[in-house]
A and B are shown apart, each in its own frame.
Chain A
Amino acid sequence: MKEVIHADHLHYAYGHVRGLEDVSFSAHQGDFLIIIGPNGSGKTTLLKCIGGILQPRSGRLEILGATLQSYSRRALARAIALVPQSAPVDFPFTVTEVVLMGRTPHLGILGVEHREDLERARQAMDFTGISSLAQRKMDQLSAGERQRVMIARAICQEPRIILLDEPTAALDLAHQVRVMDLMERLRDEKDVTILMVSHDINLAALYGNRLMLLKDARVLSMGPPAEVLTFQTLESAYGCTLLVDKSPLGDFQRVTLVPRKFIHPDFRKAFSKP
């Protein structure tokens, strides 16, 4: 498998607050890599470094075999697209207009779109199931619909890698599954590598082929879900009691939050077996 992202000893700091400490990893073509970890552990910082929004203080970051510094903004935009947590709605762009903006790195400075760009936008909207919304304004859509617009925009950008920052955080259950299914299909059909930050460990276990667990700006654990999602690792990362067992759907880890009232002194021992 071809290596698409290679990070070597990345460091980042916000002033004196550390954002990333010695983060090394690599992602391969077709990976569905999900980054999990507590608040403030550096998940979004890592995503922003890979997307070229933040410049790492030190370390080496290679995208598709070339260092990040060697990319122009436009060239990087042809390799990597971002799907933010929520879509901006301050100005009344239509769905088509937003999706077409994804073509920007492929067009001239005025972004004059041609028939084939419209065709690409139409395909991206078909793929995400928002064709019927094409002429609607962004502020008339539900959060789930908006998120699919942002994904269609990212697809329209035709990147090799898509970064998603908690795309399901504000969505209801049906939309969560829908968005995750969409990303899985995108990976399978278009061979796009997916890097997603998520707070939902159960979704991560169901969809990610590899997980990265960050804590205090460092990589605590990385590997297939079964390796990362163990009771010990999760407890040391999050500092709360969790129940880890198998999902009824098959060989997937299932993580259950354990409220205080259920915690018996003997509880820990009983469930601490990996």
Chain B
Amino acid sequence: MTDMERPLLLKRLCAVSTLLVILLIAAIFLGVSSGSTGSGIRQTLRTLLIGPSAADPMSYTIIWQIRFPRVILAILVGGTLSLGGLVFQALLRNPLAEPFILGISSGAGIGAILGILAGLPRFPGVTATAFAGSMITLFLLFVMSSGQTLMKKDTLLLSGVMVNAFCAALITFLMSMTQDSRLHNILFWLMGDLSTADPRQVGILALALIPCFVLLFVLSNSMNLLLMGRDLAQTMGLNIKITTLTLLLVTSFMVSLTVSLCGPVGFVGLVMPHLLRLVFGPDHRVLVPACILGGGTYMVLCDLLARTLPEQGEMPAGVITAIVGVPLFIILLKRSSR
């Protein structure tokens, strides 16, 4: 009967969180200490620990005003998108779901392109048009499925595929009408790009996202029940309608916000939930914090590569998330199926 001795939830949660927090701190440190102007690990440590008096003001500014907000932004984006993927996978009971499956990001894309074409500044102009685009898409999705059938996962999935296809066509249409340098801006936005981080934006984003994270953690056991199917979940005491609607709205809001600010960074939302599920098992009470921490860590590292790999300038972080994430995922999948 020793195999029945299963660690209680709290223990597992602590173990997983501790491990991931350590990884995250390591990633933060790496992210903060490296960049185009090398300040060295010892220098960074001194600046971080002792404060402005010990370091030269130049590297102090670079670390606290430029790199630190960017690393925090990466954590928020990676965490949000991984969590978004996790929720949609549970909601649609489909392991292939990702946070952009309902067309939220495509809607944001149209909004952003229109904003860029209109010559608006990146923040708040383009961010605002992108957010408006995603919210309009979500609204249309609700109208299309008339609220009632939205509860059926296949209708939701199909509506999402249609919205995505339509928006993709519109995006291509808009892009083929654009000739000048704005095309480069659009392409960068569409690949997902964290280069615009500034402390104020990151602060606003964090304030909006953290309550969402908390709410999703509260609903994490409900997500476990959802995976058992609608009928079983209900007979175990779950209110399907309220739970589904809350999950859908909170996640859509959260994903829209990050996508509006940084563009649709791909693959984090698909790969991270899977990866973490393979390592830590399918219990959402562990996976929700794991996605925030693990997704954050992953994004910090990918963003680090995106801004240090090119000799000059940087590449969109979305490129790295896919190039690193897909092989990593395939290796883990192979190993887990033995």
Contacts and interface: CB of A to CB of B under 8 A. Distances in A.
Interface string B101-131: 0000000000000000000000000000000
B235 A112 contact: no
Interface string A11-54: 00000000000000000000000000000000000001001110
B227 A91 contact: yes
Interface stretch (B6-14, B74-82, B154-162): B6-14
B95 A88 contact: no
Interface string B227-260: 1111110111111000000000000000000000
In this complex, the interface size class of chain A, counting residues with CB under 8 Å from chain B, is 35 or more
| From B228, B230, B239, B285, residue with most partner A Cβ within 10 Å | B228
A134 B236 contact: no
A131 B234 contact: no
Interface stretch (A2-10, A72-80, A215-223, A237-245): A72-80
Contacts, number: 102
B182 interface: no
Interface in A125-153: 131, 134-135
B177 interface: no
B3 interface: yes
B236 A104 contact: yes
Contacts of B95: 90-91
A114 B236 contact: no
A118 B230 CA distance: 25
A118 to B, nearest CB: 7
A234 interface: no
Interface stretch (B27-35, B167-175, B216-224, B304-312): B216-224
Interface of A: 48, 51-53, 73-74, 76-78, 80-82, 84, 88, 90-94, 96-98, 101-102, 104-105, 109-115, 118, 122, 131, 134-135, 157, 163
26 contacts: A53-B230, A53-B231, A53-B234, A53-B235, A73-B234, A77-B236, A81-B235, A84-B232, A88-B227, A90-B93, A90-B95, A91-B93, A96-B6, A97-B282, A98-B228, A101-B224, A101-B228, A104-B236, A104-B238, A109-B221, A111-B285, A112-B10, A114-B8, A118-B4, A118-B8, A122-B1
